[in-house]
Amino acid sequence: MSFLIPLAVAVLIVAVSTVVLVRRDRRRMAPHPEALRTEAAATRGIRDTRRRAHAHQNHFLRERW
C-alpha cells in the first residue's frame, strides 16, 4: 500500500508537466488562416455593433430634449 503514494506523486508531476508543455506549444503555434479571418470578422462585428448602439443612444437622447 505504501507504494501508491510515490506512484501518485509521480503521475501528478508527469500530468502537470504535460499540461504546461502543451499550453506553451499552443501559444507558440501560428494561428490558422481561417481563425484569423474569423477573429477579424468578429472584431468588425463588435465595432459595428458599438457604433450602432452609440448612434441609437444619441438619437434617443436628442428625442428626449
* Distance from C-alpha of 9 to C-alpha of 17, rounded to nearest angstrom: 12
How high is the pLDDT of residue 54?
83
Here the cell at position 62 is 436628442
Stated length of the chain = 65
Task: Look up residue 33 and give its amino acid.
Answer: P
Q: Each residue of 6-63: pLDDT tens digit?
A: 999 999 999 999 998 888 776 666 678 887 788 888 888 888 888 888 887 777 666 6
